[in-house]
Structure 1
Amino acid sequence: MIRRYWLIAIIILQLTNTEAFAQLLPNIEIIHALKESDKYIANGKSHQALVQLHQVLQTKETVTDQGILSHLYNNLAIVLARYNNFTAAMACFYKAGSIDTKYKFTKRGKRILSFFSTTDNYQNKIKEDIVNDEILELMVQDQINQKELERTEEFESEKIESESIVEAFLDQKEATHYALALLIKQPIPGQKNTNTGLGEVGHSFISLIKYNKDQSAVSKTFGFYPEEGQLIPVNPVLPTANSVIKDDAFHTWDQLLGKFVTKEQFEKILEYIDHNIANEYHLSDYNCSDFALTIAQLSNIQIDNTVGNWPLGKGDNPGYIGQSILGGNYFNLDTKTKEGLFTCSNNLFTKTKK
């Protein structure tokens, strides 16, 4: 197929003999490669997509169309997010946003795979390069080499000391950017259910990222849980428990909503975590979703319709939050629109239900 594109291009070049068309020749194969990566992404073939995108990244200097670059970085953001590499994913989203030509979104059926858009005012705030392409290329290559990370099985999240989250970001390095990702594992992917009927209620968790001037980064992905080991686990009749924080770096997810935040917003998030991370867990009043949504709200992210009912209780829950993200019921309060937000679905093979 690629040879056919080249043959057509060469024939046209011979007929036109224009320098302008000669500059388009490298783009033809790249466009084809990006379309192939679109297919891999739509079918959940992350490794194949990443290999294809890595090849394009290595030849990006030949690209003359800014829309192609935006497409490249947007696709990289989707795939790297599915590998739970949120540091690289948000960096790629940022790079796509730094390009004037906007690559807005791709869909599979009713499901939005990713959304990106910026206004000129938002654009002016993100001029610096967040991660240079040499480092990004190494990150992508490293991800390709770790095939085992493309998995379907769930890794058990382990308890961590709550103080370690805030302390990790006090690295005495000058920051250039801050980012947040809200991650949702629905009880039933693509459906507004508060539980599976078998006790599975899903999970909401957060990834925080600090990008430093020296091109290093600090990232923590974590969630709020009820403490285990109780004689009777948390349930609607006995809804309270002591809380713990767990490392969710390898936790699976269905919906992601990400945003770059200001230094002031990031500091408010750290302050909130520092003062509230040891709160008592309550199934209806303060669960993993309440914890994660509060952090999202401190980032000026608004998500509508997050409360659902269950026997003997109701409250914020992953099923409703995930469905709101999937349905586009969210806003960036900084821009008064969806602009500046990155969304991505990790489960493509379920029917979307309201």
Structure 2
Amino acid sequence: MRRLLILLGLSLLFFTKGVNAQLLPNIEIIRALEESDQYIASGESQKALIALHKGLQKKNTTDSDTLLSHLYNNIAIVLARYNNFPASMSCFHKAGEIEATYNYKKRGKRFISQFSYQVNYARAEAESIINDDILELMIQAHINQQTLKPSEEIESEPVDPFSIVDAFLDNKVANHYALLVLIKQPIAGQKKTNTGLGEVGHSFISLIKYNEDLSAVNKTFGFYPESGLLIPVNPIAPKAKSVIKDDSFHDWDQLLGKMVSKTQFEQLLEYLDHNISNQYHLSNYNCSDFALTLARIAAIEIQDTEGPWPLGRGDNPAYMGQSVLGGKYLNLETKNKEGLFSCSNNLFTKKSKK
């Protein structure tokens, strides 16, 4: 009997050690993810990235699809906030199908954010878009960058409209494509079409072509009325010649992205080739109409995008942004939110530094 108890005790000891050895890496990744969730919710992107870097270094010690999906999705969110859209969308792709729910609660003029995650199906062994070694170096570079954005706002500059399409004709074989809709609301998190000081927000697009040689082409741009007019565009004089501007450094509040097919990407380029110089019209074809048209080609539907302003109404960044924040969007191919990446920016309660 005594020998049996000793054998049972030794078996239990070895089993416990085995379980602990198996759980320890997961515990470290879970701790890194919990830290990153908190920092993401409070807008502390550099701290979130430091935590995620630790998690990425431990990724080979776990076979949990849920943890890996959570890890890559969180990296995608933070890299998007650094305007690194190619790396962000590649991480979203590697995450598989995960739904991140942003539960924003308004407290006065501030927002309190909490995250919850649901992995809808096991993370696929997707063809890699970005090498994890390169991703680690990229994350470390952003950590060393210290500041999330330049100290001074970089104004978007006009570009040759047809240079957008030409950039993607690089004679390289592509294996993935992506489109992102980015929205800067006049007032973040509010359905107000203007600030009262002339600020009406902006909607713009980012297109990405991922090549087989691991290079990528990314163009982020928006549709604007011609500047320098004697009478600026207004509800009484709503028309103007259009200008395409490079919005690579433009701030944003809401983002909605999707990996698109080769056919869809070619249709996007074809539309741009024929319509990128269309006339600007405040109510009928403004920056939001331009972005929504491209989104629809990519099978993305954003609902409730039209709202009023003094002496007019139409699609606008305030309503678009609020719809994305509220989950009023669909992947028209799946009739639900599968395959869509959304995240928010600039909606954080100030917290004391930890």
Q: Name the SS for the 2:139 alignment partner.
A: helix
Q: Render the CA deviation track for 1:85-136: whole Å, top value 9, x for unaligned.
A: 1111101100101xxxx5431434356869876568xx87x83112121121
The aligned residue for residue 63 of structure 2 is 64
Is this contact kept in 2: 1:24–1:64, CA < 8 A?
A: no
Partner Cα separation in structure 2 for residue 118 and residue 180 of structure 1: 22
Q: Render the CA deviation track for 1:4-23: whole Å, top value 9, x for unaligned.
A: xxxxxxxxx96853423311
Partner Cα separation in structure 2 for residue 269 and residue 165 of structure 1: 11
Partner Cα separation in structure 2 for residue 222 and residue 68 of structure 1: 34
Deviation at 1:142, TM superposition (A): 2.1
The aligned residue for residue 310 of structure 1 is 309
Is this contact kept in 2: 1:23–1:64, CA < 8 A?
A: no
The aligned residue for residue 9 of structure 1 is none
The aligned residue for residue 110 of structure 2 is none
Aligned length in residues: 331
Is this contact kept in 2: 1:220–1:249, CA < 8 A?
A: yes
**Larger gyration radius, structure 1 or structure 2:** 2
Identify if the C-alpha distance between structure 1 residues 336 and 106 changes in structure 2 by more than 3 Å, giving closer, same or farther: closer
Question: Structure 1 stretches (4+) deviating beyond 4 angstroms?
Answer: 13-16, 110-120
The aligned residue for residue 235 of structure 1 is 234
Is this contact kept in 2: 1:182–1:292, CA < 8 A?
A: yes
Structure-to-structure mapping, 1:105-184, within 5 angstroms? 105-110=100-105, 127-150=126-149, 154-184=153-183
1:199 and 2:194 correspond: no
RMSD of the TM alignment (CA)?
A: 2.2
Is this contact kept in 2: 1:30–1:56, CA < 8 A?
A: yes
Identify if the C-alpha distance between structure 1 residues 40 and 178 changes in structure 2 by more than 3 Å, giving closer, same or farther: same
Partner Cα separation in structure 2 for residue 82 and residue 113 of structure 1: 16
Letter matched to residue 177 of structure 2: Y
Partner Cα separation in structure 2 for residue 22 and residue 113 of structure 1: 29
Q: Render the CA deviation track for 1:111-166: whole Å, top value 9, x for unaligned.
A: 6869876568xx87x83112121121122122222223435753211111111110
Q: Name the SS for the 1:147 alignment partner.
A: coil
Q: Render the CA deviation track for 1:274-324: whole Å, top value 9, x for unaligned.
A: 111111111111100010000000000011111111122111100000011
Is this contact kept in 2: 1:119–1:339, CA < 8 A?
A: no
Partner Cα separation in structure 1 for residue 214 and residue 37 of structure 2: 29
1:104 and 2:99 correspond: yes
Is this contact kept in 1: 2:325–2:344, CA < 8 A?
A: yes
Identify if the C-alpha distance between structure 1 residues 324 and 106 changes in structure 2 by more than 3 Å, giving closer, same or farther: closer
Is this contact kept in 1: 2:101–2:115, CA < 8 A?
A: yes
Letter matched to residue 295 of structure 1: L
Partner Cα separation in structure 1 for residue 280 and residue 118 of structure 2: 35
TM-score in terms of structure 1 length = 0.88
The aligned residue for residue 273 of structure 1 is 272
Is this contact kept in 1: 2:45–2:148, CA < 8 A?
A: no
Is this contact kept in 2: 1:223–1:247, CA < 8 A?
A: yes
Partner Cα separation in structure 1 for residue 267 and residue 117 of structure 2: 26
Letter matched to residue 19 of structure 1: G
Letter matched to residue 293 of structure 2: T
Give percent identity, aligned residues only.
65
Letter matched to residue 309 of structure 2: W
Is this contact kept in 1: 2:40–2:48, CA < 8 A?
A: yes
Partner Cα separation in structure 2 for residue 155 and residue 117 of structure 1: 37
Letter matched to residue 89 of structure 1: S
Which segment is superposed worse, 17-26 or 52-61? 17-26
TM-score in terms of structure 2 length = 0.88
Extract unaligned runs of 5+ from structure 1: 1-12
1:78 and 2:69 correspond: no
Deviation at 1:59, TM superposition (A): 2.1
Identify if the C-alpha distance between structure 1 residues 113 and 287 changes in structure 2 by more than 3 Å, giving closer, same or farther: farther
Letter matched to residue 215 of structure 2: S
Identify if the C-alpha distance between structure 1 residues 295 and 114 changes in structure 2 by more than 3 Å, giving closer, same or farther: farther
Letter matched to residue 107 of structure 1: Y
Deviation at 1:30, TM superposition (A): 1.8
Is this contact kept in 2: 1:114–1:344, CA < 8 A?
A: no
Partner Cα separation in structure 2 for residue 116 and residue 197 of structure 1: 40
Letter matched to residue 348 of structure 1: L
Partner Cα separation in structure 2 for residue 145 and residue 180 of structure 1: 28
